[in-house]
C-alpha cells in the first residue's frame, strides 16, 4: 500500500497554492504515468503539506542517487578515454543544483509545484526547490516505470548538459580564452576548420584545428564538432603557453588529459 494512503496526515495543506494539472504536467515532461499518484507526490514541497512525510523529500533523496548513477554510467560508456578525476568534474557540473534547476525550468516543471501559500506568494521560487522537484520526478518515474524509464528520461534531458560540460561550456572554456587572445593580439576571431571525420553517421569523430590569423595550431579529435573545437582551442592555448598538447592529433579517440 502506498505510504500516502496509510498515514492520515498526508494530505495537501489547506494553505497550499493549488492542485496541479497532472495531465498537463505529463505532457510537459513527456512521460505518461501508470500511477499518477506518484507524480502528484513528487510535486509536493514540504511547505504545501501537513506532514513532511507527504512531501517530495524522500523522492528527492532517491532521485538524486538515480541521477548520479545514470550520469556516471553515461560518462563511463561514452568517454572511455577519460580518467576518474575528469569524469568526477563533469558529473559534478551535470548534477549540480544550477543545472537541475535550469533543466526543470526548461520543461516548465516548476509551474506544477505544490507550495505553501507563503512560498507561492514569492515571485521567485528558490533554485534549490526547483532543482529538488526534478530529482523527485526522476524517482517517481523510476518507481512507476523502472530504471529503464528513468534512464531514458534523464538522458533525454541531460544529454545536452553532458555535452556542454564535456566541451567546457560549463567549465574551462578554452574557445573563449583563445578568442580573447586572438582579438587582443590580432584583431581577428579564431577559425575552426574541419580537417577530417571518421566513423558511421550515428557515431562520428571529428578532427578540427584552431586557427588564428595565419597560424594553425595542433588539431584534436572529438565526438562532436563542438567538443572537437573546444579541444582544438585547448591545444592552441597550451601551444601558446609552451605547455604539452592536451589532446593527440593522431587518434580518432584522443587520450589526452582534460583539465
Positions annotated as catalytic residues are 64, 135
Backbone φ and ψ for 162, nearest 5 degrees, come out as -65, -45
> What angle (nearest 5°) sits at the alpha carbon of residue 51, between those of residues 46 and 53?
80
> What angle (nearest 5°) sits at the alpha carbon of residue 55, between those of residues 143 and 135?
50
> What angle (nearest 5°) sits at the alpha carbon of residue 55, between those of residues 50 and 59?
165
CA–CA separation, 167 and 227 (whole Å): 5
Asked if residue 67 lies in contact with residue 137, where contact means CB atoms within 8 angstroms, the answer is no
- The CA R_g of the chain, rounded to the nearest whole Å, is 23
Amino acid at each position: 500500500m502506498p505510504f500516502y494512503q496509510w498515514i492520515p496526515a498526508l494530505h495537501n495543506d489547506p494553505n497550499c497554492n493549488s492542485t496541479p494539472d497532472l495531465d498537463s504536467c505529463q505532457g510537459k515532461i513527456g512521460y505518461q504515468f501508470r500511477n499518477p499518484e506518484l507524480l502528484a507526490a513528487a510535486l509536493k514541497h514540504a511547505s504545501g503539506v501537513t506532514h513532511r512525510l507527504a512531501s517530495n523529500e524522500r523522492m528527492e533523496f532517491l532521485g538524486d542517487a538515480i541521477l548520479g548513477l545514470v550520469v556516471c554510467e553515461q560518462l563511463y560508456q561514452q568517454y572511455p578515454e577519460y580518467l576518474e578525476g575528469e569524469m568526477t568534474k563533469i558529473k559534478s557540473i551535470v548534477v549540480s543544483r544550477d543545472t537541475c534547476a535550469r533543466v526543470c525550468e526548461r520543461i516548465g516543471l516548476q509551474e506544477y509545484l505544490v507550495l505553501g501559500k507563503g512560498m507561492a506568494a514569492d515571485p521567485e521560487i528558490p533554485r534549490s526547490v526547483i532543482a529538488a522537484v526534478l530529482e523527485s520526478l526522476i524517482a517517481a518515474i523510476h518507481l512507476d516505470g523502472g530504471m529503464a524509464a528513468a534512464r531514458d528520461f534523464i538522458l533525454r534531458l541531460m544529454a545536452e548538459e553532458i555535452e556542454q560540460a564535456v566541451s567546457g561550456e560549463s567549465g574551462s572554456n578554452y574557445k573563449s580564452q583563445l578568442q580573447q587572445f586572438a582579438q587582443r593580439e590580432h584583431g581577428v576571431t579564431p577559425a575552426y576548420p574541419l580537417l577530417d571525420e571518421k566513423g558511421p553517421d550515428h557515431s562520428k569523430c571529428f578532427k578540427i584545428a584552431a586557427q588564428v590569423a595565419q597560424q594553425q595550431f595542433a588539431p584534436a579529435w572529438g565526438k562532436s564538432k563542438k567538443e572537437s573545437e573546444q579541444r582544438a582551442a585547448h591545444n592552441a592555448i597550451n601551444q601558446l603557453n609552451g605547455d604539452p598538447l592536451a589532446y593527440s592529433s593522431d587518434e580518432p579517440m584522443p587520450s589526452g588529459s582534460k583539465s
